[in-house]
Amino acid sequence: MTERGRFITLEGGEGVGKSTNLALVVEHLRACGHEVVATREPGGTPRAEDIRRLLLDPVEEEPLDPDAELLLVFAARAQHLARVVKPALARGAWVVCDRFTDATYAYQGGGRGIDTARIAELEAFVQRGLEPDLTLLLDMSMDAAQRRLDSRLEGQGEARDRFERERGDFFEAVRRAYLARAEAAPERVAVIDAGAGLDEVKAELLARLDARMDAWR
């Protein structure tokens, strides 16, 4: 029987460098000889990407109800797990995902104030025990992350999505919720100081990844 692949997630607030570092993790795992599937949430399949658009589109005439937002996040996740993540893990591929359920605890739990027990119920229903083998949490002060994000958005002439329009206290709550998740599961979540320069962040990320890969051997 093929050995199940590993499931690695990258987490953190807006502008902490997830996309930049995801590429590095993927490259490293491929160099180690693994088949790697790089994906993201919300999204990762055509239909789940449709749901992502519903979540990110700032339609001002009709605010999205927080419960509807939570259910859409998990609807996209169910589709992504069924079509991409589970088949990949079953054939022995490693899956590297830009955000997963820790983001739901952080954004819908911390940011929107939804009771974590309700999130946990949906998590159990949709994931049936599947959780990441390793989560790399990029953590930095929200002010500094906001500055990085501003320069990226300006550079690319991009408009802010529905989450990027939130205020500072929302992002502080997101950060606290992420750190609480890491504290509750230190064996799964590695917290990385994302406020350092890119070379330092990369070195720490790879060191944490290699340490975990050694432990899996």
Ligand X SMILES: Nc1ncnc2c1ncn2[C@@H]1O[C@H](COP(=O)(O)OP(=O)(O)O)[C@@H](O)[C@H]1O
Ligand Y SMILES: Cc1cn([C@H]2C[C@H](O)[C@@H](COP(=O)(O)OP(=O)(O)O)O2)c(=O)[nH]c1=O
Q: How far is the CB of 103 from ligand Y (least distance, A)?
A: 4
- Residue 178: closest CA among 7, 8, 6, 9: 9
Residue 84, annotated ligand binder?
no
What is the spatial order of strands in the sheet that 7-11 belongs to?
36-40, 94-98, 7-11, 134-139, 189-193
Distance CA 32, CA 35 (A): 9
Residue 14 tokens read as 């807006």
Q: How far is the CB of 75 from ligand Y (least distance, A)?
A: 11
Helix (H) or strand (E) holding 36: strand 36-40
Q: Binding partner of residue 197 among ligand Y, ligand X, none, CB under 5 to 8 Å per kind?
A: ligand X
Q: Which is nearer to ligand Y, 41 or 139 (CB)?
A: 41
- Of residues 97 through 126, those in contact with ligand Y by CB under 6 A are 98-99, 103-104, 107-108
11, 136 in Cβ contact below 8 A?
yes
For ligand Y, what does the binding mask look like between residues 65 and 94, x meaning CB under 6 A?
A: --------x---------------------
Q: Which is nearer to ligand X, 122 or 204 (CB)?
A: 204
Q: Which is nearer to ligand Y, 92 or 188 (CB)?
A: 188
Name residues whose C-beta falls within 8 Å of residue 39's C-beta, 6 or more positions apart in sequence.
80, 84, 85, 95, 96, 97, 98
- Residues forming contacts to ligand X in the complex (CB under 6 A) are 12, 14-20, 148, 152, 197-198, 201
Residue 17, annotated ligand binder?
yes
Residue 19, annotated ligand binder?
yes
Q: How far is the CB of 80 from ligand Y (least distance, A)?
A: 10
Amino acid making up residue 167: R
Question: Which residue ranges are tagged as binding site?
Answer: 12-19
Question: Which residue ranges are tagged as binding site for ATP?
Answer: 12-19
